[in-house]
Structure 1
Amino acid sequence: MATFEGRFTNTAGLRIAVVVARFNDLVTAKLLSGCLDCLARHGVDTSSTSSQLDVAWVPGSFELPLVCQQLARSGRYQVVITLGAVIRGDTPHFDVVVGEASKGIAAVARDTSIPVIFGVLTTDTMQQALERAGIKSNLGWSYGLEALEMGSLMAALPPLD
């Protein structure tokens, strides 16, 4: 019986793209900071001259899937991380954005066989979003760990025929 698991070490050669929504950047910038901290502490070069990591900014969470798709199809990255924050308001806009972003991001992963980490916070209030982006804990760190694990796991799996 073969058992496949991802690891958090030996990150050399792992190319990661992070796509960040600018809308609610008070939250998403904190998620990005936590994510980059995690990646750096696990050996990923996060410097501005890094050839291991690229960051793309998009207007909002609705635009995440399109840019993820282009990056995943480029063949340059082994994993893509999405970071966004959608906060419920008084209109159904929240449901539309969350639904389309989540479906689109999942479709990119399935269509390209590149792991895409879903790092889009969906909260009822700004306070909840801020708590998840650093006041209590920073989920950006968790998204970074998920990327390392999935990148490693995909490399360990047998190739497709």
Structure 2
Amino acid sequence: MATALKNLNEYKKDTFGDISEKHFGIIVADWHHEITDVLCQGAIDTLLQHGAKKENIYRNTVPGSYELTLGAQFLAQQEEIDAVICIGVVIKGDTKHDDYINHAVAQGLTTVSLKYNKPVSFGLVTTNDMQQALDRAGGKHGNKGVEAAAAAIHMLSF
């Protein structure tokens, strides 16, 4: 469903299991940090709200969204990490650069998840302009970081 038709903060909680002993790695792209920091905080708040311990949440930063894949792999290969949450922003520019980044990140994160048999959630905001990104970082469409954390929790309860 298109984000414009749904608030990112709305998700089903009835399938969530106990995450109090789970360890979460969060990879945050530093590019557009004014947005990714808000997305990351949404993810952390969601994890804590559902029982994760603050000391079991590890935040790591990579330069940009393209590097999320390798950052996710570094975390996923660590035995104590149960799920990885990836946070980034790609805003369309004058070229097709965004298409290449978005596709590479989506493919890469899927590969990491399957390789390590762990949830790797896709908290990548892909928009046409800055306002759309802000709308998905705590604005009128909610917070994509909340959605990414909820997806990780749901998959751990699978």
Match for residue 146 of structure 1? 151
Say if 2:64 is the partner of 1:60. yes
Say if 2:101 is the partner of 1:97. yes
Match for residue 20 of structure 2? 12
Match for residue 5 of structure 2? none
Alpha-carbon distance between aligned partners in 1 of 2:67 and 2:18, rounded to the nearest angstrom: 32
1:9 offset after TM fit, Å? 4.0
Question: What RMSD, in angstroms, separates the aligned Cα atoms of the two structures?
Answer: 1.3
User: Is contact 1:86-1:123 (8 Å) kept?
Assistant: yes
User: Is contact 1:7-1:148 (8 Å) kept?
Assistant: no
Alpha-carbon distance between aligned partners in 1 of 2:27 and 2:69, rounded to the nearest angstrom: 9
Alpha-carbon distance between aligned partners in 1 of 2:100 and 2:18, rounded to the nearest angstrom: 39
Alpha-carbon distance between aligned partners in 2 of 1:138 and 1:67, rounded to the nearest angstrom: 22
1:68-127 CA-partner distances (Å, limit 9, x unpaired) = 112111112111000000000001211111111111111101111111001101100110
Match for residue 159 of structure 1? none
TM-score w.r.t. the length of structure 2 is 0.87
Alpha-carbon distance between aligned partners in 2 of 1:138 and 1:92, rounded to the nearest angstrom: 26
Match for residue 26 of structure 1? 34
SS of alignment partner, residue 118 of structure 2: coil
User: Is contact 2:21-2:53 (8 Å) kept?
Assistant: no
1:149 offset after TM fit, Å? 1.1
Aligned pair count? 144
Q: Which runs of 5+ in 1 are unaligned?
A: 1-5, 154-161
SS of alignment partner, residue 7 of structure 1: coil
User: Is contact 1:85-1:122 (8 Å) kept?
Assistant: yes
Alignment of 1:121-132 (within 5 A): 121-132=125-136
Alpha-carbon distance between aligned partners in 2 of 1:9 and 1:112, rounded to the nearest angstrom: 21
TM-score w.r.t. the length of structure 1 is 0.85
Say if 2:138 is the partner of 1:134. yes
Q: One-letter code of the match for 1:145?
A: A
1:7 offset after TM fit, Å? 3.5
1:27 offset after TM fit, Å? 1.1
User: Is contact 2:36-2:89 (8 Å) kept?
Assistant: yes
